[in-house]
Amino acid sequence: MSDPHEMDADDLARSIQRMTLMVRGEAGQSPVPKPEIEPGSVRHGLGWWVLAQGGQLAEEDFSAREAARDLLLNQVRRAGLLVAENVWVWDETGNAQLVLATLPTEERAQRLAERLRDKGISVRVRREMP
């Protein structure tokens, strides 16, 4: 029987990520921009997603979908980004898409997307869906 206090590499990586997010939050530095709502927006409460794009998802093959998501998540982490929660978006592209940030205006989302593209991440901006 294994020791319940032992951690495997994945558990350790998740713990380090959680601690990093907590430390950055306490220091006033958010790892990713927090969602903001501009008063009087046309679609109250909805903003613009900045999505990291990965490979094609095989709708019928769960393990292939998970592999595509893992690959994208690793690319995002290698670029130095930490995402507080993995929110995956499915749309007509059929690609793995991870929400990196939600911003109140398309202009701000596009500016962030450009900075992320400079880090080598494939990014697109889309209207947030309810």
Residues 27 and 38 reside in one and the same domain: no
Q: Which domain covers residue 52, as residue numbers? A: 32-127
Report the number of secondary-structure helices (H) and strands (E) in the chain.
Answer: 3, 3
Residues 57 and 116 reside in one and the same domain: yes
- Give the Cα separation of 130 and 127 in Å (integer): 10
Residues 47 and 9 reside in one and the same domain: no
Residues 37 and 23 reside in one and the same domain: no
Residue 40 confidence (pLDDT)? 42
Residues 84-105, mean pLDDT to the nearest whole number: 90
Residues 109 and 53 reside in one and the same domain: yes
- Please state the pTM of the whole predicted model: 0.64
Residues 24 and 48 reside in one and the same domain: no
Residues 25 and 37 reside in one and the same domain: no
Residue 21 neighbours by CB distance under 10 Å: 17
Residues 12 and 36 reside in one and the same domain: no
Residues 51 and 103 reside in one and the same domain: yes
Q: How far is CA 19 from CA 25, 30, 39, 42, in A?
A: 10, 13, 33, 37
The domain total for the chain is: 2
Residues 20 and 68 reside in one and the same domain: no
| pLDDT tens, residue by residue, 97-117 | 999 999 999 999 999 999 999
Could you give the percent of the chain with pLDDT greater than 90?
A: 45
Residue 124 has pLDDT above 60, yes or no: yes
Residues 56 and 104 reside in one and the same domain: yes
Residue 41 confidence (pLDDT)? 46
Residues 59 and 20 reside in one and the same domain: no
